[in-house]
Amino acid sequence: MKTTVLAGMAWGVLAAGAANTIPPYGDVRLKGPIGERLEQMVKNHVRATDTAYITAPFLEKTERRRWWQTEFWGKYMHSAMPFWTYTKDARLKANIEEGVACILASQEPDGYIGNYPDDLRCGEGWDVWGMKYTMMGLMHYHDGLQADDERAKKTLAAACRLCDYVIDQLGPDGKRGRHLWETGNWCGFASSSILEPVVWLYNRTRRQKYLDFATYLVKDMTEVEAGPRLLDLALKGVSVADRNGYGNKAEKGGGYVMKHNRWKSYEMMSCYQGLVEYYEATGRKDLLDAAIATCDQIIKDEINIAGGCSASEAWYHGARKQHLPYTHQQETCVVTTWMRFVEKLLQLTGEPKYADELEKTFYNIYLASLNRDATEFAAYTPLNGYRSRGHHHCYMHTNCCNANGPRGFLAFLRALFQADGDAAVMNMYATSSETVVLPKLDERVTFDMYTLYPKDGYVRIVNHTVKPLAFTLKLRIPAWSARTSVKVNGTAVKDVKAGTYLALARNWTIGDIVEVTFDMTARAHVMNRHVAFTRGPIALARDTRFHDGSISETFRRNSMKDGQEVSISSARAPSEEFWMAYQAMLPVGSHTENPEGRNLASVMFCDYASAGNRWNPMNSYRVWFPMEIHPGDD
């Protein structure tokens, strides 16, 4: 097997740096409109999931098409168990128990849990990927129970037996005689992402065999010429769309599903999630560096104005092509995986830019992908067009995106409020109550937050910590908020800088009030003779329900400049289907001979999350608008 120059390369083993503490589920409670949306999603989607249905294939083991029926249960458990901890909903718990019982009953004597017949196991297709999600599902269940609970022990034991099976078949001396990365597609991305639950298993059992297997996987993921190459390409600064070895093209003669290709975004990010877990377990910092380099490349080259990314789940230099009609934009699986990735790096690095990204993704593409009654997630959500439900997958009445969707809300919830040494860190702004123990002081602090943000820029935070205490409250000041006002008990705070944390270190007393007013100035964004608009973290869209003219109408030539402030005002929405509605006077329309940009017309906008939320082709919307081209232009 050919190896890259990185084989044998020296890497330092450093102690993993201190990460932010995330409060247990339930210690941060969302209220207000975002909290209602979460409750609605848990009730109508997560709790309504039929676990007997999604676990039935595990008992049948008839998967000869090499499909992915076995991913649905593990993805479901990723949010179901945390949301049970959050809600203590008895019906949700009953559903969970039913599914777990079925999964445990399906385990074979050799440890296998899946639906592939023996001759096809651990080979092409999604079998290893399915086992990855099953291991994760079992550990989510385990983690939601008390460690001494017999069911927790039994479930962890089942995850161990499943991992033992994978090692026995695909480990260094595996019976299948192939490396794990050689199974499945995308240069081994999908299968290699099993690293994440393998490290989880090591963290929960401290068994050396799991760390050894993780080390074996990391070597293949970073040193093999034809493998995932998640280290050298990242550290060389190769953009994610250019890592596949064929240019930004499908492999020669290949269809969409490719053996040798590295442009699959969901699976690539899932691998980095595992490499970051391995860094935390071992201190191997070059892997964290590669993950950070990759994340930063994604922000620069792929993330669009709505915080989404990918076309047909592939990287495609999407940031600079987002105004074009690329196919299958912003798959919900990619969006939720991006939210997990960026939330993890926020926790590890404490860099506010990752919180800015998570916020943008959450309030735009994520909320947009959830339908109005919160029963299902869209599979693809374009920037211009209309929304619709995803197709059924694998002959089942569900799909990957419906299974993955609820995990995104969890990433937002985990990021909202954290602890860093002697500081409480407010990363997100939404009406909520939150409490956390500050590790350096071993003291609990509690706050309530009241806001209509991001519809409104005003946020009020009240200290509810009963004991008078000296500590720091860190507030994220988003990079887009150029002029932010902060007051503590009515006194203005100086030197508030965008794109940083504002550290308020003082003796806090119960009832102390912090008031923040963010700069919600609307701005134009211009790219390749197209224009789009944002207000705070929100991408704005025209929507046919406003009946205010053609949503595809061009803007006058050169009438808008990138970064230009735009005067808009709140407007009455035509119905309760809208979260936000605005009106602006803008230079649209090329049908008149009036001087360019002089004759302004009224244009209505809504927030991107509300745009097209009837999920009907008659309700279309648009984010990017073309600007006129003159005969003399290039």
Q: Which positions lie near Zn ion, rule CB under 5 A?
A: 333, 400-401
Kindly tell me which of 233 and 333 has the beta carbon lying closer to Zn ion: 333
Closest of 407, 454, 491, 495 to residue 580, by C-alpha: 454
d(CA 246, CA 515): 53
Task: List Cα–Cα distances, 472 to 397, 421, 478, in angstroms.
Answer: 49, 9, 19
Least distance from C-beta 393 to Zn ion, angstroms?
A: 8
CB of 265 to Zn ion, least distance (A): 11
Which one-letter DSSP state was computed for residue 44? I
Question: Shortest distance, CB of residue 473 to Zn ion, whole angstroms?
Answer: 38
Question: Which residues are CB-contacts of 164 (< 8 A; sequence separation ≥ 6)?
Answer: 111
Taking alpha carbons only, the member of 526, 531, 527, 539 closest to residue 625 is 531
Nearer to Zn ion (CB atom), residue 379 or residue 423: 379
Cα dihedral across residues 367, 371, 376, 382: positive or negative? negative
Q: How far is the CB of 378 from Zn ion (least distance, A)?
A: 10
Least Å from the CB of residue 397 to Zn ion? 15
Paired residues of 224 in beta bridges: 3
HEC-encoded secondary structure of 309-344: CCECCECCCHHHHCCCCCCCECCHHHHHHHHHHHHH
- At 396, give phi and psi (nearest 5°): -120, 155
**Closest approach of Zn ion to the CB of residue 331, in Å:** 5
Q: Which is nearer to Zn ion, 388 or 517 (CB)?
A: 388
Best CA proximity match to 233, nearest among 312, 301, 291:
291
CB of 418 to Zn ion, least distance (A): 28
Q: What SS3 state is found at 120?
A: helix
Residue closer to Zn ion, measured from CB, 241 or 378: 378
Nearest distance from C-beta of residue 504 to Zn ion, angstroms: 41
Whichever of 341 and 480 has its CB closer to Zn ion, that residue is 341
Q: Give the residue with the Cβ less far from Zn ion, 400 or 514.
A: 400
Nearer to Zn ion, 304 or 431 (CB): 304
DSSP label at 95? Answer: H
**433, 417 contact by CB (below 8 A):** no
Distance (Å, whole) CA 630 – CA 634: 9
**Residue type, position 1, single letter:** M
Nearer to Zn ion, 101 or 396 (CB): 396
